[in-house]
Structure 1
Amino acid sequence: MKTKSKLVALTLMTSVLVSACGGQGSGGTGAAGSTDKKAEEKPKEPYTMTIFTAGVSQEEFDKRFSATLKQKFPHVTIEYIMSGKGQTISDLVAANKIPDIIRTDVPTLQTGYLDYKIGYDLTEMVKKYKYDVNRFNKVFIDEIVDAGGTGALYGLPVPPYFPQALYYNKDLFDKFGVAYPKDGMTWDELHELAKKMTRVDGGTVYRGFSANPVNTLRDNVLSLPILSPTADGLHDSAKWSTLFQNLLRFYQIPSNTIESTSSLEDKAFNKGNVALMTNQHNIYLVIPPEVNWDIVSYPKFNDGPNLMPQRGPAYWAITNTSKHKDEAFEMIMAMLSDESQISDSKLGIPTTLNNPEIAKVLGQSDPVYSKKNMNAINFYKPANYTPKRKMGEVTVPGGTQQNLVGNAFIEVAQGKKDINTALREIDEKLKAELEKEKAKK
C-alpha cells in the first residue's frame, strides 16, 4: 500500500510540474509551447503605406520617423511622396493614387484635403483605440476641429509649431557694454533697449531692432485675424492700428531704417549689425554661425496677455479611401508618441504635447540649440489660434492676406503712408479679393 501511495504521489507531482512548464507556454521552453506560439504569430501580410507631405523632405522624414515605423511595422513598405511637379495632391487624386496618410495644415485644409472629398474624421479611431487627445496642447486640437467647420477631427498635430521669440546679438551687446535682454520683457522695455543699441560707430550703422513684418503682425498675441471671420473686409481696424503703432515706433528710431521688403527685413539680423530681432523659433530659420546669437521670451504688452504668439502646426490626417485606416492610425500614434516627441524636442523641434518634461529638453541634442536659452520658448503658453471664416464661405488665401498687411506696414515704416490710410487700403483690397473669389464660384 505504501508503495502504491508513493507511486500515486509521484504521478501527481509529475503532472503538476508538467502543468507548471506548460503554464509558461507563451514564453517557456517546452516544445509544445514554442509550436503554439509560432502558430499564433503568423507573419502579417506585407503591403505599401503611402504618406504624402508638402514641404518636408525625405531626409527629414527619415531622420524623425523611419526607424520607429520600420521597427513597429516591419511588414509595411513606406512610400513617401513629397509634393512636387507631377505629384501634387491634385495629380495623385486625378491618377487615383490617393495616399493613405497626408500631412495637412489649417491654411490648406480645405483646398488641399477636403475639396478633394478625401477627408476622414478620426473621432471613431480615437474612440476605438482609446486615444487621449488631451495629451496635446488644447489650442492645436481646437484649431483643427474649428477649421473643419463640422466638429470633425481631421488630423492630429505633428511638430513643429512655430513660436515667436526675441533674438539678440551677444557680440553687439558686449561691444557696447549693454546688458543682455531677459525673459519676461515688455514691448516698452524692448523699445528702450533698441534705442540704446541703435547707433553709428566707426562709420558703421548698428540697428537696434528688426522684425519679419509678415509673421510678427500675422501671428500676433491678440490672435487678431486679418480678414474678418464674419464680414467682408479687415477685422477690427482699431486693434490693427494698435499693432501697427507698436511695431512702427521701432522704425522711427533714427538710423533704424527698415529694409525695402519683408523678406529682406527678415534677413537683416544675419548681417551682424542688428542687435535685436523678433522672429519665429523655426528649425528652418538659418542664422550664420558668425552671428553670436541667443534668445529670450517674446516681448509682451504691459497689460498682457502673458502668452506667446505662434503659428500652429501641421496635422497627420488619413484619407477616406485608404484600405489600411487602422494601421495608418497606429502609425500616426507611433509618430506622435512621447518617445518620438522627446526625440523631436531634443533636435529643437517644439512639441505639440502639453508635457512640460518633453518641452524642457528642447534642443538638447542639437549642436547649436544646446548652447541657447531654449527655455525662452516655454516661458509663456502658446496664444490662441486666429479665428477663421467658416468652412465653405468665400475667403481670401492666407498668403494674399498676410502679404497685404506686410507690404502695407513696410510703406508705413518708410513714411510713404500713415497708418489709417494703410489700413483703409487693406480693407478695400480684401473686399476686392473677395469679389474675385466670389466670381469664381
Structure 2
Amino acid sequence: MNSKTRTRTIILLILVLTMSLLSACMKEENKGGELEGKLEGTLKVMYFQENLFFQKYGNYFMNQFPNVEFEVVNTQWLMKYPAADSNKAFKEYIEERKPDVLYLDMSSYSYAIENDLLHPLDSVIQQDKFDLEGILPMVTDWLKKEGSGGLYALAPEFSTSGLYYNIDLFEKYNVELPRNGMSFQEVLNLAEQFPVKGSEAERIYGLSTTSSSTATKLSEAIFQMTNYYGTVQGLSYVSADGKNITIDSPQWRNIYEKVVDTYQSGIISPPGSWENDLFLNGRAAMIVEGSYYLNMISQAEGRLKSPLRWGVVTQPVHSQDPDVAPNMGLTDIFGVYANSPNKKLAWEFIKFASGTEVAKSLSRAPGGSLSVRPDFIPEVNGTALSAFYELTKMSDFSYPLNVPEGFDSILQTIFSRETEAVLAGEQTIDEALQKINAKGNEQLKEAHIRAALKKEKDK
C-alpha cells in the first residue's frame, strides 16, 4: 500500500469515527426528546382510587382534551405486600398491565429509576419550556437527586405536618405564641407553661396526643412520642442494615427521659383523649398534626359552640438542621412508563397535573395534600398556611427497609413492658433502655430467621 492510499484510508477512518461519535451524541441529546403517540385516545393511568383520580385530575384534563379517555389501573392491591416484596410486585404489575402513566411513591420512584421503568423528562421539559421555577425547589431537588441529576417524574402535591396552636389559650395564660423553626424541646418548654391542675373532664393540656395515635395506655403513648421525637432528631432505633437495635444510646436516653417526665407531669394529654380531640374542643394549647388536619378543623368549626381561633407554624425541627422538614412526603408522583406507546399523551397529562390549573384547584380546597407551587398558598377560614412552605429541605432520614414485617409491634410491646416498670418505680431509665436493647436484639434476630424461612418456603 503506497503512502497516498494509506493517507486516504486514515482519512476515511477518521470520518467514520467522527460520524459515529456525532451520531452517539445526537442520540444522547435526543434521549427523552421526541415522544411517541398522539394527543388523543385512551390513556392508562395508575392510581389508587378511580373516583378520586377523576375528581382531582381526570375531569379537568378531559375538558381540555375532549378526545381523550382514561383507563385507571388500580394500585390498592399493592398495599397487601410487605415492604420487601412490594417493589417486585410493583414491577410485575406494570409489565402485565402496561400503564402509560406510572403512579409512584417516594420508595417506588427510586426503584422505578433503577429498573429502567421511567422515561427521562429533562428534554421534553426543556422543549416545552415547562415551568419548573414555580415549583418548590426542595421537591425538584429530591426528584433529581434520586435520578442522579435527571428528572424522571413530577409531583403535583405534597403532604407535611405543622404545629397547630390555640390562640385564645396562649393569650389567656400569657404564653408567647409558637414560632416557625422551633425544636421539639422548645415545643415542650412552651407546653410546660400551661396549668396541669383540674379534673380530667375539664382541665387543659399544653400539648395534645395526635389523632393518629393508636396508643391505649400510657406506656404505648410514651413509645410513640419517643419514636416521633427521635425521628425529628434523625434517629432510628434500628441500625441502617436492619440487624441491630440502637436504642441504648445517650441521644435516645435524653429523649426517653424527657418524654416520660412530660407525660408523668400531665403536660401531654393521656392516650385515648384524641377520640374527643381536645385541641378542636379548646382544651389543648397545641397539637402536632399533618396537613390532613385542616379538613378536621373545617368540619369541626360548624359544630363548635364558639369559633376556634387557631394558627399554625412549622413542625418541630432538629435544632442543628432547622431548615429540614422531618415529616414531609410527595404523595402523587407521576412518570411516563418507558415502554408506553403513548408517551406524548402521558407527558401532556403529567405536565397538566403539575401545572397551575391543578395548583389553583388544590389551593381552593386544601386538605391532606398541598400544591407544590407556593404561588398558590391556600387559606382556611382566613388563616394562611404559609408555614407549610417555610422549610426548604426534605429529610434524608429513611427507616431501614431490611426490618422484618411486624417487628415494630414486637418492639413496642417490649418497650411498653419496660416503661411500665419505670412508671411503677421498679427500674431506672437506664435499666429500661438496656433491657429494651437486649430483648429487642433477641427478637429481631428471631424475626429475621422467620422471614428467611418464609422467603425460602415461598420460592
Q: Give the Cα–Cα distance (whole angstroms) in 2 for the partners of residues 431 and 106 of structure 1.
A: 28
Which residue of 113, 117, 120 corresponds with 1:120? 117
Q: Deviations over 1:56-97 (max 9, x none)?
A: 5624x3343234412443211012344457999969939943
Aligned counterparts of 2:452 and 2:145: Cα–Cα separation in 1: 23
- Provide, for residues 262-303 of structure 1, a one-character-per-residue CA deviation record: whole Å limited to 9, x for no partner: x95895545543221122222676243238233222334555
| Post-superposition CA distance 1:395-434 (Å, at most 9, x none) | 237x856656766776677646734444554454444433
Letter aligned with residue 333 of structure 1: K
The within-5 A match list for 1:304-383 is 304-314=321-331, 315-348=333-366, 349-352=369-372, 356=374, 358=375, 361-364=376-379, 369-383=380-394
**Counterpart of 2:46 in structure 1: which amino acid?**
F
Structure 2 contact 44–70 (Cα < 8 Å) conserved: yes
- Bigger Cα displacement from structure 2, 281-290 vs 214-223: 214-223
Given candidates 296, 300, 314, the residue that maps to 1:286 is: 296
The answer for the alignment partner of 2:155 in structure 1 is 157
Q: 2:182·2:319 contact (CA, 8 Å) conserved in 1?
A: no
197, 200, 207: which one aligns with 2:197: 200
SS at match of 2:265: coil
Q: Give the structure 1 partner of residue 104 of structure 2.
A: 104
The code of the aligned residue for 2:103 comes to R
Determine whether 1:66 maps to 2:58. yes
TM-score by length of 1: 0.67
- The correspondence for 2:163, drawn from 151, 161, 166, is 166
C-alpha displacement of 1:259: 0.8
Deviation by residue 1:128-179 (Cα, 9 ceiling, x = unmatched): 442676765555456556768x8886532331232x2111233444554545
Counterpart check, 1:295 vs 2:302: no
Normalised TM-score (structure 2): 0.65
Mapped to 1, the partners of 2:390 and 2:106 lie a distance apart of 25
Of stretches 135-144 and 271-280 in structure 1, the one that deviates more from structure 2 is 135-144
**Take 1:383 and 1:295, find their aligned partners in 2: how far apart are those partners?**
19
Contact kept, 8 Å, 1:219 with 1:311, in 2: the verdict is: no
Matched with 2:450 is: 436
Match 2:263 to one of 251, 270, 284: 251
Letter in 2 for 1:325: K
Question: Does 1:396 pair with 2:403?
Answer: yes
Long gaps (5+) in structure 1? 1-43
Instruction: Quote how far apart the aligned CAs of 1:320 are.
Output: 3.8
Q: Give the residue type in structure 2 aligned to 1:362.
A: I
Query: What amino acid is the match of 1:79?
Result: E
Question: Partner amino acid for 1:433?
Answer: A
Q: Number of residue pairs matched?
A: 375
Tell me the percent identity. 18
> 1:327 and 1:344 mapped to 2: Cα distance?
23
State which of 30, 43, 50 in structure 2 corresponds to 1:49.
Answer: 43
Q: 1:350 to 1:421 in 2, by over 3 A?
A: farther
Q: Deviations along 1:338-375, whole A, 9 cap, x unmatched?
A: 4433432443343335xx4x2xx4223xxxx2422412
3-state SS of 1:197 partner: coil
* TM-aligned CA distance change 1:345 to 1:228, over 3 Å: farther
Q: Could you tell me which runs of 5 or more consecutive residues in structure 2 were left unpaired when the two chains were aligned.
A: 1-37, 81-85, 211-223, 424-428
Backbone CA RMSD of aligned residues: 4.4
> What letter corresponds to residue 102 of structure 1 in structure 2?
L
1:77 to 2:69 alignment? yes
CA-to-aligned-CA distance 1:307-366 (integer Å, 9 cap, x gap): 33223213113334432122212211111124433432443343335xx4x2xx4223xx
Give the whole-Å Cα distance in 2 for the aligned partners of 1:283 and 1:320. 37
SS of 1:157's partner is coil
